[in-house]
Amino acid sequence: MARPPGQCSPAVVLALAVILEGVDGTRVDVIVGLGNPGRRYRYTRHNLGFDVIDALACRYNIPMQQHEFQAICGQGCVGLRVVLLVKPQTYMNASGHAVAPLVRRYRQASEQLVVVHDDIDLPLGKIRVRQQGSAAGHLGVRSLIECLGSEAFVRIRLGVGRPPHKEGIVDYVLSPFAAEEMDARDMLIAQAVACIEKTLGAGGA
């Protein structure tokens, strides 16, 4: 019988308990969504990473109630993989200061880190996965690279497009999606969740 979303096998439950005890050598996948904390930034283009983490947490019944190293976290399962979902609370440009200690805490090499973020260089609704590389102008990703000392982590880039007129980039990414963009936004979040499942080899629920 198939297990409902978020329900782990007994072996995975045991592995999760081991992780919580901090035993060396146990694998946990760290999934980070980049964004800014606070109500004023909710549902903005720059907070798509947070929205994806919320959608993933909802799909797999993972409570986001843990506060650790300047981040809101949730521990649970995506398919048969044990994961730590992370929403840094340091503001976008200092995201690495929250993420790097978590990577060290959970004994993860940077290759086992998946980061979800908005990208103005991709058209709205486009999604692209990179295994490693430079920050490409994204200050949140730059902070991660600087604090981790490595570019070798998976990025799931979510296209929000560039401002259609002469609006500044900062004002654009910190503004909510327009009403006519909401369907594309919702589809992008759903595609990002599916992409994370594929990246983890979870194959959905």
On average, the pLDDT of the chain sits at 82
Please identify every residue annotated as catalytic.
Answer: 46
In angstroms, rounded to a whole number, what is the distance separating the alpha carbons of residues 26 and 35? 28
> Which sign, positive or negative, has the C-alpha torsion 43, 61, 84, 190?
negative
Question: Is residue 1 domain-resident?
Answer: no
- pLDDT at residue number 108: 53
5 falls within a domain? no
Can you tell me the distance from the alpha carbon of 146 to that of 200, in angstroms, rounded to the nearest whole number? 25
39 within domain boundaries: yes
C-alpha dihedral (191, 53, 63, 204), degrees to nearest 10:
30
Does residue 75 fall inside a structural domain? yes
pLDDT exceeds 50 at position 121: yes
Q: Tokens standing for 66?
A: 């843990």
Write the pLDDT tens digit of every residue in 127-153: 988 877 666 667 788 999 999 888 888
158: enclosing H helix or E strand: strand 154-159
Number of separate domains in the chain: 1
What's the rounded Cα separation, in Å, for the pair 107 and 33? 19
* Domain containing residue 77: 10-200
CATH number of the domain enclosing 49 = 3.40.50.1470
What pTM, to 2 d.p., does this model score? 0.83
Q: How confident is the model at residue 60 (pLDDT cuts 50, 70, 90)?
A: very high
Q: Within a domain: residue 193?
A: yes
